[in-house]
Amino acid sequence: MVRIMIVEPKVRGFICATAHPVGCRENVKRQIEYMKKLGSCDGPKKVLVIGASTGYGLASRIAAAYCTGAATIGVMFEKESNGRRTATPGYYNTKAFEEFAHADGLYAKSINGDAFSKEIKDQVIDLIRSDLGSVDMVVYSLAAPRRTTADGTTYQSVLKTTSSDFTNKSWNLKDNTVGEATITPATEEETLATVKVMGGEDWIDWMNALSDAGVLADGAITLAYSYIGPKLTYPVYFNGTIGMAKKHLQESAAIINQTLADQHVKAYISVNKALVTQASAAIPIVPLYFAILYKVMKEKGLHEGCIEQIGRLFHEKLFSGNAPVLDEEGRIRLDDWELREDIQKEVMEIWDKINTDNVKELADIDGYWDDFYHMFGFRFPNVDYSQDVEI
């Protein structure tokens, strides 16, 4: 059913219940234009992106297509419009990406479904086999709230500490006040469930499935994204349940490297910068840190969004020389600017004095909300939101 209507943002807490198709297209178009301007680099030509419709995964897909000219297959879990509600932003983003890619003569196909399932893995393998033969790069960029494993068990990820209560300043997104939030400790079961969802088990499953099916090219590379952040957020992130999952992701890179060594497959973790995405907006305490970080990094001319981060990943970290640029633990560091001493010093000084009265002055509240609305296709000055659109 074709439904035409005016689409307005419906924001509830950290989520927006609507998405604007034309605005989402604009968002994708801008990212493609950025990547085109950055120019081409030598890299993989057949790329599978798992979690390709928003955030870091979408930026990765755009980079693969427009930096190295790769054919891309994207996997995502997005909702189509049911005729009354709009589709999710990732649905519109994917549609727009495919249109742009096709117009530019690039192969792009997408599979919408649960990447954790065997069914979707099989569909992707069939598609690679029939259309591309093999893939030489796999980006694993899932951010999911739950995962159902092959035996039918559903695991739910939680954002909690792994020790005691953690109380700190928190910005209430509903009314822009700064108060306090307390994050409670997870049970052992909750921590294990979070590792099941956001750890590397499914990444390993994907790589083994691709290899067993003979659709993984010799010497292929695979990447998954992680976050470390400042000591301030360690209790909720690095040492929290999500941090445990990220440690598992890191260990999984080593397992993939071992298991697929005779195929010369190389697995990397890229530690990325804190950015507003649908996944990260849900973490308490963290958004206030983000808004302060944005302010400080913008003032120093060092602010990057997903597309700038992934542009730098391709051009400066992965494909700039004979080997990727890694830290002493073998990780790619795109959080190098975020964690710079001068940046963190300023962020912490602001953190100590920020309150409801000065939050607008000391943190980049507008920048945060712009990014937030842009994710759902809103607040682009060249989009006419008073017009009816087909949802």
Residues recognised as catalytic: 237
Q: Which residue is nearest to ligand NAI (CB)?
A: 55
- Cα separation, 77 vs 274, in Å, equals 22
Q: How far is CA 335 from CA 61, 197, 271, 308, 380, in A?
A: 20, 23, 6, 12, 27
Query: Would you say 21 and 13 are in contact if contact means Cβ atoms under 8 Å apart?
Result: no
Query: Would you say 42 and 77 are in contact if contact means Cβ atoms under 8 Å apart?
Result: no
- Cα separation, 363 vs 169, in Å, equals 13
Among 23, 43, 44, 57, binds ligand NAI (CB under 6 A): 57
Nearer to ligand NAI, 75 or 215 (CB): 75
For residue 110, list its beta bridge partners. Answer: 74
Question: Quick check: 277 binds ligand NAI (CB under 6 A)?
Answer: yes
Question: Quick check: 149 binds ligand NAI (CB under 6 A)?
Answer: no
Question: Quick check: 52 binds ligand NAI (CB under 6 A)?
Answer: yes
What's phi and psi for 369, nearest 5 deg?
A: -65, -35
| DSSP-assigned letter for residue 98 | H
Candidate segments 19-27, 73-81, 163-171, 176-184, binder of ligand NAI by CB under 6 A: 73-81
Binders of ligand NAI: how many residues, by CB under 6 A?
29
Question: Quick check: 78 binds ligand NAI (CB under 6 A)?
Answer: yes
- Cα separation, 314 vs 240, in Å, equals 30
Question: Quick check: 116 binds ligand NAI (CB under 6 A)?
Answer: yes
For residue 15, list its beta bridge partners. Answer: 12
Site for ligand NAI in 164-183 (CB under 6 A): none
Candidate segments 126-134, 166-174, 176-184, 224-232, binder of ligand NAI by CB under 6 A: 224-232
- Cα separation, 228 vs 238, in Å, equals 6
CB of 55 to ligand NAI, least distance (A): 2
Helix (H) or strand (E) holding 156: strand 154-156
- Cα separation, 293 vs 275, in Å, equals 10
| DSSP-assigned letter for residue 232 | G
Nearer to ligand NAI, 19 or 143 (CB): 143
For residue 48, list its beta bridge partners. Answer: 73, 138
User: CB under 8 Å to 89, separation ≥6 — which residues?
Assistant: 19, 24, 53, 54, 78, 278, 375, 376, 377
Question: Quick check: 54 binds ligand NAI (CB under 6 A)?
Answer: yes
- Cα separation, 122 vs 335, in Å, equals 34
Question: Quick check: 275 binds ligand NAI (CB under 6 A)?
Answer: yes
Nearer to ligand NAI, 199 or 235 (CB): 199
Question: Quick check: 316 binds ligand NAI (CB under 6 A)?
Answer: no
Among 68, 141, 157, 344, binds ligand NAI (CB under 6 A): 141
Question: Quick check: 90 binds ligand NAI (CB under 6 A)?
Answer: yes
Site for ligand NAI in 225-254 (CB under 6 A): 225-227
Question: Quick check: 279 binds ligand NAI (CB under 6 A)?
Answer: yes
- Cα separation, 251 vs 273, in Å, equals 20
Question: Quick check: 373 binds ligand NAI (CB under 6 A)?
Answer: no
The residue behind tokens 């400790």 is 185
Question: Quick check: 161 binds ligand NAI (CB under 6 A)?
Answer: no
Question: Quick check: 274 binds ligand NAI (CB under 6 A)?
Answer: yes
> What's the half-sphere exposure (Cβ side, CA atoms, 13 Å) at 260?
29
CB of 347 to ligand NAI, least distance (A): 15
Nearer to ligand NAI, 40 or 168 (CB): 168
Nearer to ligand NAI, 146 or 264 (CB): 146
Among 53, 72, 170, 250, binds ligand NAI (CB under 6 A): 53
Interaction site with ligand NAI (CB under 6 A): 51-57, 75-78, 90, 114-116, 141-144, 225-227, 272, 274-275, 277-280
